[in-house]
Amino acid sequence: MLGNFFPILRFILALNFVFFFWFSKKLWKIFCAEVSTELNLLAENWKYLLGGLVFQYIHGLAARGVHYIHRPGPTLQDAGFFLLPELGKDKAYISETVFTSIFVLFVLWTFHPFILKSKKIYTVLVWCRVLAFLVASQFLRIITFYSTQLPGPNYHCREDSKLATLPPPHSAFEVLLINFPRGVLYGCGDLIFSSHMIFTLVFIRTYQKYGTKRWIKQLGWLLAVIQSLLIIASRKHYTVDIIVAWYTVNLVVFFVDKNLPEIPDRSSVGASLLPLSNKDKDSWNKEETHKLLNGNSVDPMERRQRNGMNGKIMDDGLAVQSESAINGV
């Protein structure tokens, strides 16, 4: 009996090996092709990425600097503190866990073109856009928390904590190092408005536009609300810090997005590698108008190829309906 089983087992293992080899080879081809494409985009856009990353350090440096002038005091009266029960020090990790999950999942999604054949975005162009949103929001945040310093509600920022104030720095080098990551985790004074909510809302707004799974979009907004409540319940921010973040970041993303070149939809046939500039869009609109005035019709497929679906990726179900409508079905 066992003698008949071993040949079958060897056959199954050999079949699995062949499939794994074929899949690995196919995955490697996708990866190499995507690397080549993204490197071309990186060569043209590296300045924007570098500038955005440098500003992340500047933002951290500003948050570190405001800690030196933070003065602890009684916790201010807050509606959120009154309505939400305090989680306590031992449960403060819950909000950080939710935020870390959102952060990691978004980063993984932006790199999915390197391993999946079906892809909608360009990783470099998406991160150029994300960093533009972050820089604009963080710039407003720096101005805000330096304008008025509130007594921190977090446990390490209260009057009975040794971490609430920092001694004067012995050198500029000490300030420039920003004591990462401890200086970021135990900072005080950078309250209005929440940095965690800046990242959360920028990531969710980006996926809302370029993602394809409707349930993930809905889950993202739900997690943003949960994250907001957990931050208040953990006493890491006042309620005003969260509310200001919600309307400020959404407005920043809205206005900045309107002035950035559109990212083409890679799923559309013949989509251009590079996004259309405002000048290109105006030229296309004039060309389209000229054709209509002369009695010439505009090919819907040509419009789709030229504008990349206006830079917005539709949900899976809507995309199927749109494709059927274009084909006249």
What single-letter amino acid sits at 270?
G
**pLDDT value for 223:** 96
| List of residues 6+ apart from 291 with CB closer than 8 A | 297, 298
pTM comes to 0.76
Copy the structure tokens of residue 55.
């500003």
Residues counted in the chain:
329
Provide CB contacts within 8 A for 39, sequence distance 6+.
Answer: none
CA distance 305 to 283: 15
Q: Which residue has the tokens 């920028």?
A: 202
Alpha-carbon distance of 21 to 309, in angstroms, equals: 37
Q: CB-based contacts of 262: which residues, under 8 Å, 6+ apart?
A: 275, 276, 281, 307, 308, 310, 311
pLDDT at position 22, please? 56
Q: What is the pLDDT of residue 11?
A: 57
Q: How far apart are CA 186 and CA 134, in angstroms?
A: 21
Tokens of 238: 């006042």
**Catalytic residue numbers, as ranges:** 196, 237, 241
Our measurement of the distance from residue 15's CA atom to the centroid of its chain's CA atoms, rounded to an integer in Å, reads 41
| Per-residue pLDDT reduced to its tens digit, 208-229 | 999 989 999 999 999 999 999 9
Which two three-digit tokens encode residue 307?
A: 């504008």
Q: What pLDDT shows up at residue 119?
A: 76
DSSP 2-23: HHHHHHHHHHHHHHHHHHHHHH
Low-confidence ranges of the chain (pLDDT < 50): 2, 269-277, 281, 284, 288-289, 292-293, 295, 297-311, 317, 319-329
How far, rounded to the nearest angstrom, does the alpha carbon of residue 29 sit from its chain's CA centroid?
27
Q: Where are the domains of the chain?
A: 41-258, 278-326
